[in-house]
Amino acid sequence: MVRWTEHEIPIAGGTLRVRERDSGPAVLFIHGGLVNGHLWDDVVNQMGGDIRAIVPDLPLGAHHLPMDPDADMSFAAMAGRLTEVLDYLDLATVVVVANDTGGVAAQYLLVEHGDRVSAAMLANIDCYENFLPKLFFWFPALMQVPGATWLVAKLLSTRVGRRLPFTLGLLVRPLNKTEANLIMGPMWTNSGTRLDLKRWAKTLKKKQTLALAKQFKTYQGPVHIAWTDKDVIFSPKYADRLATDFPGGVRLEPITNSKSLSPLDQPGEVADRLRDLIEAMEPATE
User: CA distances (Å), 277 to each of 3, 86, 116, in order?
Assistant: 25, 20, 17
pLDDT at residue number 166: 67
Q: What is the pLDDT along the chain (286 residues), one digit of tens a residue?
A: 568 999 999 999 999 999 999 999 999 999 999 999 999 999 999 999 999 999 999 999 999 999 999 999 999 999 999 999 999 999 999 999 999 999 999 999 999 999 999 999 999 999 999 999 998 999 999 999 999 999 999 989 988 888 777 676 678 888 888 999 999 999 999 999 999 999 999 999 999 999 999 999 999 999 999 999 999 899 999 999 999 999 999 999 999 999 999 999 999 999 999 999 999 987 544 3
pLDDT at residue number 1: 53
pLDDT at residue number 151: 94
Task: Provide Rg for the chain, Cα atoms.
Answer: 17
The dihedral built from the CA positions of residue 39, 264, 90 and 121, taken in this order, carries a sign that is: negative
Compute how many other C-beta atoms are within 10 angstroms of the C-beta atom of residue 232: 12
pLDDT at residue number 241: 98
How far apart, in whole angstroms, are the C-alpha atoms of residue 248 and residue 232?
26
- Where does residue 61 rank: exposed (0-12), middle (13-18), buried (19+ CB within 10 A)? buried
What's at 70, amino acid-wise? D
pLDDT at residue number 283: 59
Which class is 5-132+205-285 in CATH? alpha beta
User: CA distances (Å), 153 to each of 169, 191, 195, 236, in order?
Assistant: 15, 10, 12, 30
- Name the E strands within 12-107: 14-21, 26-30, 52-56, 94-100
How far apart, in whole angstroms, are the C-alpha atoms of residue 220 and residue 102?
21
How far apart, in whole angstroms, are the C-alpha atoms of residue 170 and residue 31?
14
pLDDT at residue number 3: 82
How far apart, in whole angstroms, are the C-alpha atoms of residue 49 and residue 184?
25
Please, are residues 84 and 54 in contact by the beta-carbon 8 Å criterion?
no
How far apart, in whole angstroms, are the C-alpha atoms of residue 181 and residue 214?
38
Q: What is the full DSSP assignment across 82-135?
A: HHHHHHHTT-S-EEEEEEETHHHHHHHHHHHSGGGEEEEEEEEE-BTTBSS-GG
How far apart, in whole angstroms, are the C-alpha atoms of residue 219 and residue 152?
37
